[in-house]
Amino acid sequence: MLSGTLPIDLTAFPSPPGPTPWPIVGNLFQMGNQMHLSLTLLRVKHGDVFKLRLGSLPVVVLSGYNTIRQALVRQGEDFAGRPELFTFSAVADGTSMTFSEKFGPAWLLHKKLCKNALRSFSQAAPRGSGATCLLEEHVCAEAAEMLEMIREQSAKAELDSEMTDGASKGVDPVKPLVTSVANVVCALCFGKRYDHNDKEFLTIVNINNEVLKLFAAGNLADFFPVFRYFPSLSLKELVQYIRRMNGFMERRIEEHMHTFDKNCIRDITDALIALCEDREKSKEMSLLSDTQIIHSVIDIFGAGFDTIIAGLQWSLLYLIKFPDVQRRIHQEIDEHIGSARMPNFSDKPKMPFTEAFIYEVFRHAAYVPFTIPHWYDWCTHYSEWLLHSKRHLCFHQPPCSYLWGDPEQFCPDRFLGHSGQLNKELTEKVLIFGMGKRRCLGDGFARLEMFVFLATLLHGLRIENVPGQKLDLGTDFGLTMKPHPYKITVSSRFTEM
């Protein structure tokens, strides 16, 4: 794709094809309200590499696994930047590793610090259980709490139906899923878990959801910079929500600053404060400010949140739509775990079908249709195309028949080899956590967390559809696309737990 150090005659390459933009608005209106589907249709017409103009933003779209891998891995440094979008600056104000426009030594150091803080503290010794590490302790505790919350909701729904002499209307699993996953992140980042009815905790969870909705809706200030001086109602709401979310984070950080003891590191925030105190001993650390280092906890908080929640919501929907799949997971649980104990991290490699199910949910639901936009500064060429300088890059992975054969079919077995073990080469082609320089920090932890949450639910419960409820695998467009609302009925698998 690149010709090494030899000079390249860029005039020999044509620009990528693409739909004709309209004056002023470009191709914005052609995207509709399901942008991922619109891009899939454009890919059929124009190929894996095509260009758009969204308002004033010139965009190059790269589609398909091989195309994305070429850009993010083999040419990773060329395309590792972030665009200077108004929403990015509203979120982070220059302190975020995730949204930082600059790619270079300071960014690489920032990512290294975030990764080390997440890894070292999550792998720290547990504090009061038989778990192998602190992350496992938190995840298993919250998974058990989630299981009990769903049981309690189910018992209440059954009682209500008996009192009204009607059929059970089932339970909505969203709140237990959201609050339990959020509590894992809070415990790791701030050393504190919250009661599931804590007012401040629920407010932050709801604000996070609203921020994601507003991000997904797009912002005129990103497409037309002049609108940042004439903010719309949605832009004002976005800024207010982000300020409230960051205010919550800032208060937790300030509390830690006042009570910090370098001989007693309580959580990831403490670990980052300790790094700041050691800055003077390291010339390399001078590349980052104290604010950048400490605010890394905000990046870590975000990395462990919405992707896992959405994955669990989709998983439960597929389990009630495909009961035979659920039965096979139950069989695997009974064979490798039994009824005497709860699932833990060590069970994951012993349960390939459960893992295959999770990967097939990632693939089939495709609920993270894009990465956060990338950016490149200079003219380069990619495949047979000339890419002009200063363009936004959108990475889009639609279902590919050449990769999956029958992409519309839900089939966990596609991820199992002839021996029944997980096909690692194929699982790497599921890009739910991105790839390359900007790959999600906590992807390995997220997979462990999803496994334990799902295995814990299915260890204790049989999950079924509510009689008469039509199941819909459709979704509304978003940064992380959630399924349409649904309810479940549950019954215990064991008389004593």
The one-letter code for the residue type at 28 is L
Give a yes or no: residue 320 inside a domain: yes
Say whether both 412 and 391 belong to one domain.
no
**Least confident window among 102-111, 248-257, 460-469:** 102-111
Decide if pLDDT at 2 tops 60.
Answer: no
Give the mean model confidence (pLDDT) for residues 122-130.
79
Decide if pLDDT at 459 tops 60.
Answer: yes
- Tell which phi-psi region holds residue 349, choosing left (phi > 0), alpha (psi between -120 and 50) or beta: alpha
Which of 398, 415, 448 terminates a domain? The answer is 398
**Least confident window among 226-230, 262-266, 321-325, 388-392:** 226-230
- Tell which phi-psi region holds residue 94, choosing left (phi > 0), alpha (psi between -120 and 50) or beta: left
Say whether both 359 and 413 belong to one domain.
yes
- What is the number of residues in the chain? 497
- What is the reported pLDDT for 1? 42
Give a yes or no: residue 88 inside a domain: yes
Decide if pLDDT at 3 tops 50.
Answer: no
C-alpha span between 239 and 322 (Å, rounded): 41
Number of domains, the chain: 2
Give a yes or no: residue 286 inside a domain: yes
Give the mean model confidence (pLDDT) for residues 15-43.
90
Say whether both 150 and 22 belong to one domain.
no
Question: Which segment, 165-179, 208-222, 353-367, 380-394, is predicted with the most confidence on average?
Answer: 353-367
* Residue 159's CATH number: 1.10.630.10
Query: 3-class DSSP state for residue 396?
Result: strand
Decide if pLDDT at 229 tops 80.
Answer: no
C-alpha span between 198 and 204 (Å, rounded): 10
Give a yes or no: residue 219 inside a domain: yes
| Segment holding 490, helix H or strand E | strand 488-492
Say whether both 479 and 381 belong to one domain.
no
Say whether both 29 and 163 belong to one domain.
no
Helix boundaries (H) for 14-92? 35-46, 65-69, 86-92
Q: Per the annotation, does 394 bind a ligand?
A: no
Contact (CB, 8 A) for 167 and 487 = no
Query: 3-class DSSP state for residue 463?
Result: strand
Contact (CB, 8 A) for 201 and 194 = yes
DSSP conformation class of 225: G
- What is the reported pLDDT for 364? 94
C-alpha span between 400 and 67 (Å, rounded): 12
Give a yes or no: residue 497 inside a domain: no
Predicted structure pTM score: 0.90
C-alpha span between 264 and 245 (Å, rounded): 27
C-alpha span between 393 and 74 (Å, rounded): 16
Say whether both 56 and 131 belong to one domain.
no
**Least confident window among 93-107, 403-417, 432-446:** 93-107
Give the mean model confidence (pLDDT) for residues 355-379.
89
- Domain with 228, as residue range(s), is 94-368+399-492
| Segment holding 74, helix H or strand E | none
Say whether both 485 and 392 belong to one domain.
no
Give a yes or no: residue 122 inside a domain: yes
Say whether both 51 and 166 belong to one domain.
no
C-alpha span between 122 and 136 (Å, rounded): 8
Say whether both 21 and 62 belong to one domain.
yes
- The 10 Å CB-count burial string (b at 16+, else e) for 119-138 is eebbebeeeeeebeebbbbb
Give a yes or no: residue 380 inside a domain: yes
Contact (CB, 8 A) for 39 and 398 = yes
Say whether both 187 and 252 belong to one domain.
yes
Question: Which segment, 6-20, 248-262, 310-324, is predicted with the most confidence on average?
Answer: 310-324
Say whether both 333 and 449 belong to one domain.
yes
Say whether both 181 and 310 belong to one domain.
yes
Query: 3-class DSSP state for residue 337?
Result: coil
Decide if pLDDT at 286 tops 80.
Answer: no
Query: 3-class DSSP state for residue 415?
Result: helix
Query: 3-class DSSP state for residue 378?
Result: coil
Q: Tell me the chain's radius of gyration from C-alpha atoms.
A: 24
Tell me the pLDDT tens digit for each residue of 141-157: 999 999 999 999 999 88
Give a yes or no: residue 355 inside a domain: yes
- What is the reported pLDDT for 372? 81
